[in-house]
Amino acid sequence: MAKKQTRKPVELFCVAELNDKGRLVGLKRGVRKSDLVDGAVLVNPECDLPLDGSYKYSQESRCFVPLGHGFGKPMQAPITESRVLYHIARALEDPHEELRQWLAWYETHIAPLHEESIEARRKFARRNNAGD
């Protein structure tokens, strides 16, 4: 009986299609190793990046970088960084002398302004809600 020949499985790759500016505009699936060209950018076959040129391949970091006009500004934090620092310092059991001095300064000079600001916002809100 003749011995059955088994074929070696062919390894297939998924290659990014980049435009002349290095932007991702397509994916070529099922590319054989022998068909790969120098500089080909291999990607995961499950790549879900948009193929509209909004991502650029970075040779340096070897990844795709989103393009755009920046990111929107985050909303204003509900508490300032100095107020956060104040609460952290206040929570310490035995703060260093310099920190105790800063806490005293903050409580004397900054905390009253913070309280005034909160009270002004409350008055403004009450005034605006009175007409509802």
Cα–Cα distance, 55 to 50 (Å, whole number): 8
Q: Does residue 1 register a pLDDT over 70?
A: no
pTM score: 0.46
Instruction: Of 59-63, 66-70, 77-81, 101-105, give the range with the top mean pLDDT.
Output: 101-105
Task: Tell how strand 63-66 and strand 24-32 pair up.
Answer: unpaired
E-assigned strands of the chain? 12-18, 24-32, 55-58, 63-66
Could you read off the pLDDT of 57-75 as tens digits, one per residue? 998 989 999 987 666 677 8
The average pLDDT across 90-106 equals: 95
- Cβ 15 vs Cβ 27: under 8 Å: yes
Amino acid code (one letter) for 120: A
The overall longest dimension of the chain from CA atoms, in Å, is: 99
